[in-house]
Amino acid sequence: MRKYHISLLISLFLLALIKPEAWAKSACNEPVPEIFKRISPSVVFISAISFDPFKAKDRLSTSVGSGFIISKEGLILTNSHLVFGHQTIDVILDSGLSTRAELVGVDPFLDLAVLRISVPGKNLPVAILGDSNAVQTGEDVLAIGNPFGLEQTLTKGIISGINRTLSASPMSPELPLIQTDAAVNPGNSGGPLVNDCGEVIGINTAMLGQGENINFAVPINMAKRVLPQLIAKGRVIRPWLGVGGKFIQKELGQIINLPLVDGFMVETVEPESPAEQAGLNEGDLPVTLAGTEYLFGGDIIVAINGHAFTDRDELAKFVDSLRVGDKVRLTLYYGGETREVEMQLTERPLLLGDF
């Protein structure tokens, strides 16, 4: 009996050491209706109008979607494709109040935008931002938004996968996304993907048109990482080489009878980019192999600053570690010969992907 009491006391002592946050995280069993009541007031309806003066008719177009309030000062997080390039942006709050919004910052690369509304005397409801790095496949999630203009719609599903990449996306084709089967439709874009603790873990952004209930969200940690720049500078400042392409292996050369090496094959060179100024060659020979399209004939980047890269992720991380103004040395393979060029990185334009 004495041993039992000692064990009980030790257990109670250890439980007392557990932080309250850990208790809250392990006890996220709040009923879905309660989560919806708590989160939905922070979700807004967004309508943006663009005007094309060069069209003879149908010069006005409207984009509708969702967003959610992230600060008492009226900051709203949403998708850039809903609001970027539009002349007017209007927001309707859960209360029914309609107000004009200001575009604070935009990042088409991550498909993120920050808006600001001014509602004097209003105590704005704010969404709680969670940790997308902690999500696991199989977890329950909720999507809240305004599909087809239907206000405050809730759908439920699970995390179907993490670190998904889309080959055909208006954003970076290598952006790791959260995949969910929670029903997402036009109008849900920009709305929150919420975990069973009522925390936002993603921003709904894309649907796979050929599939059923295959939808994607930008991880909230990506948004949290760039929010300070979006708010302070209106954009995310990134270095830019000005090339697009894909990694290849020299074995491909045996199939198409071309001299190739392992490396990043340059398929396109952006006008006025550091790569163009350094004289890089882009591809001019389209070839499709096993369903994959290639544009051969350009330079192959073998190494940068003497370091060879084995995949696109490694190259992307390296480029992300660079800063605007840095000088880099490229080792290039072209037509059976190797050469080196040096370039100074400029800031990446808003609308361009790749490197």
Domain ranges of the chain: 132-221, 239-347
The CATH topology of domain 239-347 is Pdz3 Domain (2.30.42)
Catalytic residue among 47, 160, 189, 273: 189
Q: How far apart are CA 216 and CA 161, in angstroms?
A: 9
Secondary structure (3-state) at 110 = coil
81 is catalytic: yes
* Catalytic residue flag (residue 189): yes
Give the fold, CATH level 3, of 132-221: Thrombin, subunit H (2.40.10)
Structural tokens at position 348 = 């990446």
Averaged pLDDT in 10-residue chunks for the chain of 355 residues: 46 39 53 93 94 79 92 95 92 94 93 93 90 93 88 91 63 70 87 95 78 83 95 92 88 83 92 93 90 91 90 78 92 93 89 61
pLDDT at residue 166 in the model: 61
Residue 160 designated active-site = no
Of 10, 40, 18, 2, the closest CA to residue 198 belongs to: 40
Give the span between the Cα atoms of 192 and 200, in whole angstroms. 6
SS3 (DSSP) at 144:
strand
Closest CA relative to residue 153, chosen from 123, 109, 121, 191: 191
Q: Which of 42, 66, 80, 81 is catalytic?
A: 81
Q: Hey, what amino acid is at 147?
A: P
Q: What is the pLDDT of residues 262-275, one digit of tens each?
A: 999 999 999 999 99
Predicted local distance difference test score (pLDDT) of residue 353:
57
Model-level pTM? 0.80
Instruction: Name the catalytic one among 40, 80, 107, 111.
Output: 111
Classified as helix, coil or strand, 89 is strand
Classify 38 as helix, strand or coil: helix
Backbone angles phi, psi at 68, to 5 degrees: -150, 145
